[in-house]
């Protein structure tokens, strides 16, 4: 077991001591809470944007690189986002990855503008009915914005509950997931759900981390029934990483324009512009400009970019020549943006 970890000292059961459990957790949170912009507001739109951004991106990226602040400055209300084009949204989301989230948020903004006259819905059921909003996100927005008593279970909360209750079943099954939501529903605070839900998430992020839970200083170790924290939660074994090779062109014409390919409907990164991909055989005679790697979901990709002279190039369908001064404004996946910047620097 990692240093800093200790076996919890359960004397009480959370469900039999609900108020004490909730108060202990919220008191700890009030003393320890990190200061994030979405915690200093009750604007449901600002909270929804933060929740969607944080679904698959670390706080350090969302905040440290200014994504959240920039996005909120561009689209301070659902109506502002609803008016934007998909290309503008993809550009604003650049660097965060998982672009499906940006499209879902765009769809939610349009639904709020169309069906709720631009006013963010007040009822949980209405929030839940927005496109792309699941049970967790609806509960988070309702509790953080409206202080409504709604349960939440995200990856952090799932880990905390599986340890608190020493859950020996897999959490990625229907039964395991149902059990987690049952505990979340039974335990959610009626008095101060905003602070309680925030506390639960913060506990998972900081105290009850995946690899180094610090049970010694955990505010709820008195309620925790797990025996080997680092063995929980139980999930189906990790999906194997698949290695993939991609071959792309760096091709400029005599006017200095760059050839780019637009990702088509139904494909990952739909609508974005990337360096044109080619079959390996088509790049065999070309000089290598750059070799780089990146990871996306379960794929580890090696991207090789070859220089090509325009006389060798036929722009394929969905490809177009772009003036260099316009490239910055096009939505482009981060690996392509980084690779392009490296080539141009050289
Ligand atoms: S909740 Fe997590 S950090 Fe706290 S005692 Fe239990 S396993 Fe340890």
Digit-by-digit pLDDT tens for the chain (346 residues) are 334 456 677 778 999 999 999 999 999 999 999 999 999 999 999 999 999 999 988 899 999 889 999 999 999 999 999 999 999 999 999 999 889 999 999 999 999 999 999 999 999 999 999 999 999 999 999 999 999 999 999 999 999 999 999 999 999 999 999 999 999 999 999 999 999 999 999 999 999 999 999 999 999 999 999 989 999 999 987 778 999 999 999 999 888 899 999 999 888 889 999 999 999 998 888 999 999 999 988 899 999 999 987 666 778 889 999 999 999 999 999 999 999 999 998 8
Q: pTM to 2 decimals?
A: 0.83
Domain of 256, in residue numbers? 242-345
101 & 197 share domain: yes
111 lines ligand 1 (CB under 6 A): no
**In angstroms, rounded to a whole number, what is the distance separating the alpha carbons of residues 164 and 237?**
22
Active site residue 32: no
Q: For residue 332, which of 33, 76, 91 has the smallest C-alpha distance?
A: 91
**In angstroms, rounded to a whole number, what is the distance separating the alpha carbons of residues 109 and 120?**
9
Domains in the chain: how many in total? 2
Q: For residue 95, which of 337, 340, 343 has the smallest C-alpha distance?
A: 337
Q: For residue 9, which of 252, 219, 242 has the smallest C-alpha distance?
A: 219
Domain boundary among 192, 207, 231: 231
Handedness of CA 199, 200, 206, 207 (dihedral sign): positive
Say how many Å lie between the CA of residue 8 and the centre of ligand 1.
6
User: Tell me, what CATH number does 307's domain have?
Assistant: 3.90.79.10
- The tokens for 88 are 């503008």
160 lines ligand 1 (CB under 6 A): yes
Query: Phi and psi (nearest 5°) for 280?
Result: -55, -45
Number of residues in the chain: 346
- The tokens for 270 are 């739909």
Evaluate whether residue 226 is within a structural domain: yes
170 & 256 share domain: no
Which residue of 2, 203, 210, 221 sits with most ligand 1 atoms within 8 Å of its CB, as the best mutation to test the pocket? Answer: 221
83 & 182 share domain: yes
277 & 319 share domain: yes
Ligand 1, residue 5: give the atom nearest the CA.
8
Question: Which pLDDT score is estimated for 104?
Answer: 95
59 burial (CB, 10 Å; 0-12 / 13-18 / 19+) is middle
Question: Which pLDDT score is estimated for 312?
Answer: 65
Element (H, E) at 261: strand 258-262
Question: Which pLDDT score is estimated for 310?
Answer: 63
Evaluate whether residue 330 is within a structural domain: yes
Question: Which pLDDT score is estimated for 168?
Answer: 94
111 & 160 share domain: yes
- The tokens for 246 are 């991609």
Catalytic residue among 16, 30, 32, 51: 51
- The tokens for 130 are 């927005």
Say how many Å lie between the CA of residue 33 and the centre of ligand 1.
17
């Amino acid at each position: 077991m990692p240093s800093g970890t200790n076996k919890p000292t359960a004397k009480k059961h959370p469900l039999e001591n609900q108020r004490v459990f909730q108060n202990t957790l919220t008191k700890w949170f009030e003393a320890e809470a990190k200061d994030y912009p979405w915690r200093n507001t009750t604007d449901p739109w600002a909270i929804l944007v933060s929740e969607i951004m944080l679904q698959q991106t670390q706080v350090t990226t969302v905040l440290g690189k200014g994504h959240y602040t920039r996005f909120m400055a561009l689209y301070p209300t659902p109506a502002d986002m609803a008016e934007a084009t998909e290309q503008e949204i993809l550009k604003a989301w650049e660097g965060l990855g998982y672009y499906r989230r940006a499209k879902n948020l765009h769809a939610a903004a349009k639904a709020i503008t169309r069906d709720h006259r631009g006013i963010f819905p007040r009822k949980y059921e209405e929030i839940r009915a927005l496109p792309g909003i699941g049970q967790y996100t609806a509960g988070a927005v309702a509790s953080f914005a409206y202080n409504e008593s709604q349960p939440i279970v995200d990856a952090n909360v799932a880990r905390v509950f599986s340890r608190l209750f020493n859950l020996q079943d897999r959490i990625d099954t229907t039964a395991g997931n149902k059990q987690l939501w049952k505990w979340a529903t039974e335990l959610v605070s009626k008095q101060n759900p905003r602070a309680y839900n925030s506390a639960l998430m913060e506990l998972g992020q900081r105290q009850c981390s995946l690899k180094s839970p610090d049970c010694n200083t955990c505010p709820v170790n008195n309620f925790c029934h797990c025996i080997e924290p680092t063995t929980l939660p139980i999930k189906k074994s990790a999906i194997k990483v698949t290695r993939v090779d991609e071959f792309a062109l760096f091709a400029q014409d005599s006017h200095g324009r760059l050839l780019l390919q637009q990702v088509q409907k139904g494909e990952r990164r739909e609508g974005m512009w990337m360096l044109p991909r080619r079959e390996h055989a088509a790049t065999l005679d070309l000089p290598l400009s750059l070799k780089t790697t990146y990871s996306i979901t379960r794929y580890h990709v090696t991207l090789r970019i070859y220089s090509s002279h325009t006389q060798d190039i036929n722009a394929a369908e969905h490809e177009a020549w772009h003036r260099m001064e316009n490239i910055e404004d096009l939505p482009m996946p981060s690996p392509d943006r980084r690779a392009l910047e490296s080539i141009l620097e050289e």
